[in-house]
Chains A and B, each alone.
Chain A
Amino acid sequence: MTAMAWIASFRMKPSTMRPYSSRLRKALYMRSFFTCFMALSIVIVAERAWGHGFDLSINYDTNGNPASFTAASAQPVLDQDGATPGPANLFLDAFAQTPNADGSLGTYEGFAQTAGPWPLYTATFNILSPLYYSDGTGGPAVPASAGTDLHIYDRYAGNPDPVTDPHPGASYGDVYVNGTTPFYQGFGVSLYDFHELEKDLYIAPDSTQTYGEYGFAFEVIVSFVDGPTLSTGPLVDIFATDTTTDPDNPGGFATFAPDSQQDAATLAVYDAVMAAAPEPSSFLMAAFGAIGMGIYGYRRTVRRSRV
C-alpha cells in the first residue's frame, strides 16, 4: 500500500451516534459517576507495586499493511520482586492492598496500549480462559471457586473526557470471568491507556482461595479501517492478593510469600490458562482465511479454464 493510500485510509466514517433519550442519558451519567467514584477510591487507597500492561505495536508486511502484533509486557516476571523472568505474554501484578468499599479486590493494571504508528482502527477484546487460582504450594492451578468472579468493565466507557483524556471506542459492558466459563466476549475498547479496564475480584464468602494468585487469558482484536482484522493471540494477566491489613484474610500473598512460592503459583496459573485458551477468534480468522484462499483458487481455475 502506498503512503498516499495509507493516509487516505484515515478518512473518518460519518458518525452513527444518535442523541440519547433523557432516561438513558441519566443512566449514563449515573454510570459515569459511579465509575469515576470507583476509580477515585481505588486511586486514593491503592498502593500498587509497579503496574502498567502490554505495549502493542504493529508489524507491517512489505506492502505496508498491518500483518501482526508485538505485545511487550511491562512485567513478564513470575514474582512481585521481578526476580524470575517469565513468558513474554505474561503480565504479573498485585491487587490493591486495600479492598474496595464493597470488599472486592481491585486493579486496573494489565491492559494494552498502542505503541508507535497505528492506522485508524476499532478494537475489542475477548476472555479466552476461565479464572484460575494457585497458592504455589504444588500441583496445577485450579478453577476459581464457585461464586468467585472477576468483574471487568471500561473505566472510560462513553469517552467522558474526549478533549483532555480521550478514549474513543471505550464502551459500556461488563464481563464476569469465573472458574467455569472458557470464553467470554468483551466490548469496544480504545487502547489509549493501560489502565482502561477495571478488574475487581469478588471472592466467594465460603472460598478458601484467599492467599495466592488469580489469572486469565485474553486477546485484543483490532479491525483496521483499511483492513485487516488481527488478534494479539493470548495475553495472560495474573494478579496476586495483597491485602496486608489482615495477613490471613485474604492474605498479602504478594508481600509475604517467598519468591519461590510466587514463582510456582504464577507458573501454575499461566500453564492452566494457556492450556485453556482455544482462541475462537483466531480459529474464526483461520477459517475465513482458508475460505478466502479457496475462493481465490477456484476463481483462478475458472479464469484459466476460460482462457
Chain B
Amino acid sequence: MKILRSVIALVAISANAAIAFGHGFSLSVNYNNSFTPVSLTAASQEGFFDTQQVTAAPTNMFIEEFSSAETGSAGTYMPVIHGFVQTAGPWLPYTATYNVISPLYFSDGTINGPHNTVVATEAPVGTYIDMYDLWAGNPEPTLDPHPGAAFGDVYITGQSSFEAGYGVSLYDTHEMEKDLYIGSGDAYGEYGFAFDIVVHFSDGVTLASAPLVNVFATSDPNYGDFAENASYQQQDAASEAIYQAVMAAAAPEPSSLSLVAIAAGLLGLRRWLNGRSHCLA
C-alpha cells in the first residue's frame, strides 16, 4: 500500500507540478593519500535564495517549491520530492542514513523582528512535514535500484530539534518525499529545515556531511503562490531568515559529536598501545 501510495504521489507530482528546476545535492567523497574517505562535499544544484534564482546562496542550501496543487486522500498536503542527496564520483561500498537536525521554520520574508529584521519562526503546532522514502524496500532493484532505502516516517515539526532518520540509498536526489501539512499558520511563504547524511563505508570509516538545508516555497494559487508572486527580494529575505534559523539550530549534531568521541577514543587507544610497545621494547 505504501509503495502504491508513493507511486501515485510520484505520478501526481510529475503530472501537475510546475517545478522550476529541481533535484538536490551531489555528494562526493574526499580521500586521503591512502584512499581512505576523510570527508564529504555536498554541492547544491539550486544554491539560490529565491525560486527565481537571482541571488546566490550558501553551497549547503537547496531551494525549491512545493507542488502547486495540493494532494490528499490522507489529509491536505503539499508534496515535493526534490532536495535530497545523490552520490557523485567514486564511492566505496557503503550504507547510509540521515537525521533531521533542526526544527521546521517558516518565513514569508516580511519584517517581523527587532531593528527591522526578518526572523524565521518555528512552525506552529499542527504544521509539519512528513518525510519518507519513495523507494523504501527497493521495489525496482533491476530497472531503478535503491538498495538500502528503508521504510519509515520522520515528522519535522516546529517543536523538535532532532529526529533520527533511517536507511537511504543515496541513488537519487528524488529519493525522499516531503509532504507539508498545514494545521495552522501560513501557507504563503517558505518552510525549511536542516538535515545531515551519515555514511558507513565498507573500510570502517563513518562520515557525516555538514548540515544541509532544504527550503521550499509554497506555490498553490489558492494560497497566493508565494514562489510565483512574491518578489525575489521578499523570497531572498524569507530564505535567508530560514537559513540562519536552521543553521543556528543545527549546531550540535549528535552523530557528529559521537563521531568525534569515537575518534578521540581511538586516538587515545593508539597512544596507549604505542606507549605500551615502547615499554615492551
Q: Mark A80-91, 1 if CB is under 8 A from B, else 0.
A: 011100001000
A14 proximal to B (CB < 8 A): no
List residues of chain A with CB within 8 A of the CB of B6. none
Asked if residues A195 and B45 are in contact (CB atoms below 8 Å), the reply is yes
A55 proximal to B (CB < 8 A): yes
Interface of A: prevailing SS: loop
A7 proximal to B (CB < 8 A): yes
Contact A192:B15 (CB < 8 A) given known A47-B20, A164-B59: no
When chains A and B are docked, how far (Å) is the Cα of A47 from the Cα of B18? 9
CB distance from B27 to the nearest CB of A (A): 10
Contact A57:B92 (CB < 8 A) given known A164-B41, A165-B43, A192-B26: no
Asked if residues B21 and A55 are in contact (CB atoms below 8 Å), the reply is no
When chains A and B are docked, how far (Å) is the Cα of A248 from the Cα of B94? 52
Q: How many A-B contacts at CB < 8 Å in the complex?
A: 121
List residues of chain B with CB within 8 A of the CB of A70. 142-145
Interface of B: prevailing SS: loop
Asked if residues B35 and A7 are in contact (CB atoms below 8 Å), the reply is yes
Asked if residues B43 and A118 are in contact (CB atoms below 8 Å), the reply is no
When chains A and B are docked, how far (Å) is the Cα of A177 from the Cα of B170? 33
B22 proximal to A (CB < 8 A): yes
Asked if residues A55 and B22 are in contact (CB atoms below 8 Å), the reply is no
Asked if residues A119 and B90 are in contact (CB atoms below 8 Å), the reply is yes
Asked if residues B88 and A50 are in contact (CB atoms below 8 Å), the reply is no
Of B19, B89, B90, the contact of A50 (CB 8 Å cutoff): B19
Name, among A51, A83, A165, A190, the residue most crowded by chain B CB atoms within 10 Å (CB to CB): A165
Q: Mark A33-62, 1 if CB is under 8 A from B, else 0.
A: 000000000011011111110010100000
Asked if residues A81 and B172 are in contact (CB atoms below 8 Å), the reply is no
CB distance from B3 to the nearest CB of A (A): 16
B171 proximal to A (CB < 8 A): yes
List residues of chain A with CB within 8 A of the CB of B28. 166, 192
B residues 81-97 touching A (CB-CB < 8 Å): 86-94
Of A46, A82, A88, the contact of B21 (CB 8 Å cutoff): A46
- Chain A interface size band reads 35 or more
B202 proximal to A (CB < 8 A): yes
A32 proximal to B (CB < 8 A): no
B residues 119-174 touching A (CB-CB < 8 Å): 142-145, 147, 169-174
List residues of chain B with CB within 8 A of the CB of A11. 35
List residues of chain B with CB within 8 A of the CB of A163. 41
- Chain B interface size band reads 35 or more
Of B33, B59, B170, the contact of A165 (CB 8 Å cutoff): B59
Of B45, B169, B174, the contact of A74 (CB 8 Å cutoff): B174
B residues 46-80 touching A (CB-CB < 8 Å): 52-54, 59
Name, among A3, A52, A88, the residue most crowded by chain B CB atoms within 10 Å (CB to CB): A52
Asked if residues B171 and A190 are in contact (CB atoms below 8 Å), the reply is no
Of B31, B54, B202, the contact of A3 (CB 8 Å cutoff): B202
Asked if residues B14 and A44 are in contact (CB atoms below 8 Å), the reply is no
List residues of chain B with CB within 8 A of the CB of A48. 20-22
CB distance from B175 to the nearest CB of A (A): 10
A10 proximal to B (CB < 8 A): yes
Of A81, A116, A193, the contact of B26 (CB 8 Å cutoff): A193
Asked if residues B88 and A114 are in contact (CB atoms below 8 Å), the reply is yes
A139 proximal to B (CB < 8 A): no
Residues of A within 8 A of B (CB): 3, 7, 10-12, 43-44, 46-52, 55, 57, 70, 72, 74-75, 77, 81-83, 88, 113-121, 163-166, 168, 190-195
Contact sample, A vs B, 24 pairs, CB 8 Å cutoff: A46-B21, A48-B20, A50-B14, A52-B22, A57-B171, A70-B145, A74-B172, A75-B14, A77-B14, A81-B15, A113-B86, A114-B87, A115-B86, A116-B87, A116-B145, A118-B91, A119-B90, A120-B90, A163-B41, A165-B26, A168-B89, A191-B89, A193-B88, A195-B23
